[in-house]
Amino acid sequence: MSVEKWVYGYHEVAAAEDHLDGDWEAVRGLLGGKGANLGEMTRIGVPVPPGFTVTTRACNAYLATGEQFPSGMWDQELAAMKEVEEQSGKEFGAPANPLLVSCRSGAKFSMPGMMDTVLNIGLNDETVKGMVALTGDERFVYDAYRRLIQMFGSVVLGVSDQPFEHVIEETKTANGMKDDTELTADDWKAIAARFGEIIKEEAGIDFPQDPYVQLEMSTEAVFKSWNGKRAIDYRNAAGIDHDLGTAVNIVTMVFGNMGETSGTGVAFTRDPANGEKVLYGDYLMNAQGEDVVAGIRNTKPIAELEQDLPKAFSEFVDICARLEEHYKDMQDVEFTVEQSKLWMLQTRTGKRTAKSAVKLAVDMADEGLISREEALLRVTPDQVDALLHPQFDPVVKATKPLLAKGVNASPGAAVGQLYFDADTAERMAKEEGQDVIMIRPETRPDDVHGMLAAKGILTSRGGATSHAAVVARQFGIPAVVGCDELNIDLDDRSVMASGTLLREGDHVSVDGSTGEVFSGKIPTVHPRFEDQGDLIILLEWADEIAYQEGIRDLPEGSPTRGLQVWANADYPQDARRARAFGAKGIGLCRTEHMFFEDERLPIVQRMILSKDETERQTALDELLPFQRADFEGVFEAMDGLPVIIRLIDPPLHEFLPSFEDLLVDVTQLRMDAKRVGTDAGRTLLSDTLSAKEKMLGEVEGMRESNPMMGLRGIRLGIILPGLIEMQVTAIFEAACNQALKGVDVHPEIMIPLTGHVNELNAVQPKLEKAALRIMREKGIEINYKFGTMIEIPRAALTADQVAETAQFFSYGTNDLTQMTFGYSRDDAEAKFLLEYVEQGILPENPFQALDQEGVGKLVAMGVELGRRTRPDLEVGICGEHGGEPSSIEFCHRAGLNYVSCSPFRVPIARLAAAHAAIKRPALVV
């Protein structure tokens, strides 16, 4: 039986691809993103140090078998080391010409800093002597040796970094030094010796002198780091599966700390913050890569490398262009220059902000690098959401004194309370519900849980490619890094800047777009959609694709031939905003919301409490002009587009004071009446009490055991027909008035809560007669429809019958979900629903993402049945699911004509609709 191949050299990436039938995603899954890309760079002739990858399958096998290497893996790793020796011309563990390697993680999806790395493996008390003789640079060698001991101690043996860092700081202080670069060879030699003692003291073992033991233990440590807390937290936040495992990459060491012709850096082929086509990144001369990403030294911008190392910089620029052309995306690269020789250590698809994602997608499509479809898929709905997040009010911001300024690492506005460590930041955010700004000298991978809980991140050290910057950009957290003015005292839990002392819990405002930090709170404003040029272009492409690429060819006369995005809007200003965001219609205009305004509510209450039809009709006649004016404004705002207006839906008692509040008031007034001493006071109290008691009696008479399933919607229209007839009159008078002014009106009247077609048959014909009467009176005909809201399972199950009367369906998925599950939404979310999701009983909250297996079956069934009866039936949804991407994809597959959501969700829904059309999955019911 053949032994599985656990190890692939970088020159073997083609063999791995052949083994996996040319599936590059499978190659990335097997070798991890880092290993696959190092192999690919080797294949296309980019200078990569010799090395190999231990597969993710080996990691999963190791973790599944009680942390034992799978059979044959270690032998293959030893054989691969021999090949690296041949390729490099060096020997692992030999004092004369020692080979040193790094051991790095590399999962399929990038998880920057979340798993472990060990550098300079192969150094020991003997090989350091050979390295000194070989390089003639004792300082460099002992700096490298102490790094190995420190990283091995913290990564492999679990020793805290603090005692190691304390030794370095103590040495610098004793010698009057500020930076690590000032330490001498003797200093590093003494520090390395002390580090060995720390390992003995803390871990109870000697630092291993056998290079192969170092390699074996480091490989295990990287495997184990897959299940480390920070890696799990990161995967949870990024939506990465926990069963992928990490590969291990063993790479020949190249050194950026070999003097003034050496350096190391991290760069992006375009600006990951704003998408501009310019190299963006940091580097350090005479340093190793960890110094850049850890943020322990403030870095130099990548453009200055042209002055420091012009030949290497020129080659680097050419390679970046080649990599972007090859991968057809912005690349995040790591490099080292060793004595003027450039080596590429990594390339991967770069993490980017929302603004950058949109600009990159549009620019690369315009450049012909990718198609428009690919451009749309490059941007996520969450990124569109983030792009439209609030920003600081510029007027108020201009009045605030600047506290500090640093690198604008991740854009956005964040206001919160300062906390100085990740555990406290997470606790205050989750347990106390505070908005948190996490402040640190620099962040480490172990801080990721606090970073994810924070509204903003602030550091005094680090650059644009430091750990804090990369993580913040990926998760859309505003961040300012490298603020030199911040004098952070972790022990005192305070920070001094610009003469201002701030303590833990104080408020600050962080502007990640400008790199500015302010004391106190600055209010935010929503950015203008009209100013988002690249996003507007992208969403125009989205509309074209979502509309033209619908899954089914609908009959001629259908309102759409794909999935459009409409909006829920109750007032003219909402409708104007929705249209500005790109909505193609109003999918839900709730008439009852208009009744709650101060000047109207007393009339509504009078109508509800009236004792006869005459009194009720008088109140309805007073309400009609208000309703008509509302609808005129909405029709004008949506000139040329459809407007679906839902007739009154909630039970009437919702327009009256609550029973509980009235009961308290009556009880208090009765007690007060006993204490009042004057006749005038008693009379006043008596009148008030009488009115309250009367209202209490009326409300009590209207109380229902289950109002959601009681007298509301179409049932209310049957019992009180005058109410909905008034609303239809207002709608058609408004529509005709606007049509006479030249406005292109398309009213669609939605009758809510139909459960049986006979209910619709009892109501709709009367309303249609009212519509015809008004059009005759106005002397104009307009296009209109009457339809119903499908919120009750029975209506979906008998949709073929309902469609005989209804000319369109709109799924009210909020109520349909409640009735399908048998949940009261408020009670369920307050009492058990969150726990259901946490325990895996439900995959997600069905009120946030449509339950496709249950509620979705009813939707799909209703669409199919309804169109059997009425082939041109217009169907949409107008619940909260209309703005949720996975629900939108389902609606596309089910053949709906539109989704309707809040105006602010319209841009997100437009992109999600295009994603659904591009993917074009088949519907499974």
**What's the rounded Cα separation, in Å, for the pair 268 and 884?**
32
The residue ranges of DSSP E strands in 315-398, in sequence order, are: 331-338, 341-349, 391-392
Question: What's at 341, amino acid-wise?
Answer: K
Which of 878, 891, 892, 901 is flagged as catalytic? 878
Q: Which residue has the tokens 């750990």?
A: 467
Q: Tokens 């058990």 label which residue?
A: 832
Within 8 A by CB and 6+ apart from 17, the residues are 23, 24, 27
- Return the structure tokens found at 453: 């809980």
Q: Kindly report the CA angle at 907 between 903 and 908, in degrees rounded to 5?
A: 105
3-state secondary structure (DSSP) of residue 329:
coil
The residues, ordered by sequence, that sit 6+ positions from 748 with a Cβ below 8 Å of its Cβ are 642, 643, 644, 645, 784, 785, 786, 787, 808, 874
Residue (of 736, 721, 703, 735) closest to 767 by Cα position: 721
DSSP string, 425-491: HHHHHHTS---EEEEESS--GGGHHHHHH-SEEEESS--TTSHHHHHHHHHT--EEE--TT-EEETT
The number of CA neighbours under 13 Å toward the Cβ of 388 is 19
Which among 329, 241, 333, 343 has a CA at the least distance from the CA of 282?
333
CA–CA separation, 436 and 430 (whole Å): 10
Determine contact, residues 410/478, Cβ cutoff 8 Å: yes
Q: Determine the Cα–Cα distance for residues 797 and 588; give it in Å rounded to an integer.
A: 23
Catalytic residue from among 449, 467, 746, 881: 467
**Is 389 a residue of the active site?**
no
Task: Of 446, 429, 439, give the one whose Cα is nearest residue 462.
Answer: 439
Cβ distance 439 to 419 under 8 Å?
yes
Q: Could you tell me how far CA 195 lies from the centroid of its own chain?
A: 42
End-to-end CA separation in angstroms for the chain:
44
**Under DSSP, is residue 849 helix (H, G, I), strand (E, B) or coil?**
coil
What single string gives the DSSP state of each residue in 658-702? -HHHHHHHHHHHHHHHHH--SHHHHHHHHHHHHHHHHHHHHHHHH
Phi and psi torsions of 479, nearest 5°: -150, 140
Told to judge if 11 belongs to the known catalytic residues of this protein, a careful annotator would answer no
Cβ-count burial of 121 within 10 angstroms (0-12 exposed, 13-18 middle, 19+ buried)?
Answer: buried
In sequence order, the 6+-apart residues with CB closer than 8 A to the CB of 645 are 586, 589, 591, 631, 634, 727, 731, 747, 748, 749, 750
Question: In whole angstroms, how far apart are CA 798 and each of 803, 868, 869?
Answer: 9, 12, 11
CA quadruple 410, 411, 417, 423: dihedral sign: negative
Give helix 885-893 / helix 855-869 axis angle, nearest 10°.
Answer: 30
Contact indicator for 518, 437 with CB cutoff of 8 Å: no
Contact criterion met (CB below 8 Å) for 77 and 7 = yes
- How far apart, in whole angstroms, are the C-alpha atoms of residue 730 and residue 738? 12
Question: Residues 108, 916, 238, CA angle at the centre, nearest 5°?
Answer: 30
Active site residues: 467, 878
